[in-house]
Amino acid sequence: MFDFQVSNKPFFDNACRAFALRHNLSEIARTIGMKEQTLRNKLNPDQVHQLTAIEIAVITDVTEDATLIDGLLAQMKCMPAVPVNELAEGNIAAYTLHATAALGSVAAGAVSTERQTRQSKNAIIDSVNTGIRHLSLIGLAIQQRIDGSPALASAAAAVASVATNGMV
């Protein structure tokens, strides 16, 4: 089973701040039927108001930005969200290029001698989450390809069986 733990680091608070800086909150509030100031308060960790799970889902759906969900998952010491609806079998090469680009951004941030600001830290975290998301989509696309071909699925099952039984 899973052993979920809540982190003592402010991952969700940081995600709320980053999200608020990146988006036009008045437009989002209007779209989801919430007052702009209420949305601002809910995205401000210093305020008592907090987003509900449904509000996070609706905001993520409207903006197609998983920052809030990723921050919530990181708060629970979990990996970022992978939007399976983006999966397209023919996009394995594109997913690979995106994952490689994200890894390059992480590497550039790691070797940078500049002072790490909150904004640069958020950019690195976004790159890590993007890389994980695209690597997951590669895995799902390959799994879909294998499952779609009975001969390939049988061969993969045979190899897995041999490897599991220690005959390799």
DSSP secondary structure of 83-146: -GGG--GGGHHHHHHHHHHHHHHHHHHHH--S---HHHHHHHHHHHHHHHHHHHHHHHHHHHHH
Q: Which residues of the chain carry a pLDDT beneath 50?
A: 1, 168
**pLDDT tens per residue across span 74-122:** 898 888 888 777 777 678 888 899 999 999 999 998 888 888 888 888 8
Same domain, 89 and 57: no
**What distances in angstroms separate CA 157 from CA 54, 88, 107, 151, 166, one per listed residue?**
40, 23, 36, 10, 14
Q: What pTM was computed for the model? A: 0.68
Residue length of the chain? 168
Residue 154 covered by a domain:
yes
- Looking at the 3D structure of the chain, how many domains does it have? 2
Look up the domain containing 60 and give its range: 11-75
Same domain, 27 and 70: yes
Same domain, 64 and 105: no
Same domain, 156 and 89: yes
Residue 16 covered by a domain:
yes
